[in-house]
Each structure stands twice: as structure tokens, then as C-alpha cells.
């Protein structure tokens, strides 16, 4: 059972380049989330989705876009990468509230992204 899988695991970009981070979950979860984690700080929410075809902004959405075309996938895009986006990115998922309102979020292992 793979759970939440993030690709790639590592990436180095130059300023101004674009890329897409992929998150895939095989647990049939409705809700999916993208967080970033910077040194000495907790995780901060970038964007989230409560179902296929829906997305919403989190705490730090600027410079990022997301898409949820399929229920199992949640994509995070950087259109023009900046050094301030150097971080570790985590994806998470959880069931919808009908399954259980107090279900924990399940996390992937993260994508380590460096912007030069």
C-alpha cells in the first residue's frame, strides 16, 4: 500500500524556470493538501483541495498554482521559480468528513527543491 507518493524527491532549478510537483494517493481520499516546510518553522499550507476539480488558497499561496483534475492526483506548479521558494514540499491527504471528521492527515515523504 503506497499511501501518498510525491515525485520528484529532489530537484534543483534556476531562477525563472518552471516545474510541477506531483502528489498521488491511492487511499481514495477526497481532501488533499500542499505544505512547505522551511528551516526552524513548522509546515505552512500553500493550497488545498476538498475534491476533484476544486482548489483553494492556503496561508502562503503566492507564486504557486495547483490543479486537481483526478481525485488521486494533486499537482503543485511553480510558473517562475524564485530563490524564496527553496523549501521542502509536503503533500497530504485525508478522507472526507462523511468517512470520519477526525481522521488524521497522511503525508508523503516530501520533495526537496532548491532554486539557484
Partner 1 sequence: KQEVTQIPAALSVPEGENLVLNCSFTDSAIYNLQWFRQDPGKGLTSLLLIQSSQREQTSGRLNASLDKSSGRSTLYIAASQPGDSATYLCAVSPSGSARQLTFGSGTQLTVLP
User: Which residues are CB-contacts of 72 (< 8 A; sequence separation ≥ 6)?
Assistant: 24, 25, 26, 28
Terminal-residue alpha carbon distance, the chain: 36
Q: Kindly state the smallest distance separating residue 16's Cβ from partner 1, in Å.
A: 28
Which residue from 13, 21, 24, 43 is in contact with partner 1, where contact means CB under 8 A? 43
Which residue from 12, 27, 56, 99 is in contact with partner 1, where contact means CB under 8 A? 56
Which residue from 19, 22, 45, 60 is in contact with partner 1, where contact means CB under 8 A? 45
Q: Is 104 in the site for partner 1 (CB under 8 A)?
A: yes
Between CA 48 and CA 34 the distance in angstroms is: 6
Amino acid at each position: 500500500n503506497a499511501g501518498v507518493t510525491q515525485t520528484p524527491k529532489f530537484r534543483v532549478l534556476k531562477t525563472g524556470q518552471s516545474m510541477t510537483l506531483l502528489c498521488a494517493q491511492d487511499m481514495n481520499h477526497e481532501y488533499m493538501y500542499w505544505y512547505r516546510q522551511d528551516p526552524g518553522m513548522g509546515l505552512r499550507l500553500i493550497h488545498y483541495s476538498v475534491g476533484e476539480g476544486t482548489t483553494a488558497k492556503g496561508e502562503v499561496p503566492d507564486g504557486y498554482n495547483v490543479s486537481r483534475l483526478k481525485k488521486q492526483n494533486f499537482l503543485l506548479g511553480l510558473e517562475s521559480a524564485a530563490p524564496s521558494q527553496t523549501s521542502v514540499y509536503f503533500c497530504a491527504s485525508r478522507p472526507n468528513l462523511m468517512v470520519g471528521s477526525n481522521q488524521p492527515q497522511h503525508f508523503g515523504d516530501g520533495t526537496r527543491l532548491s532554486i539557484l
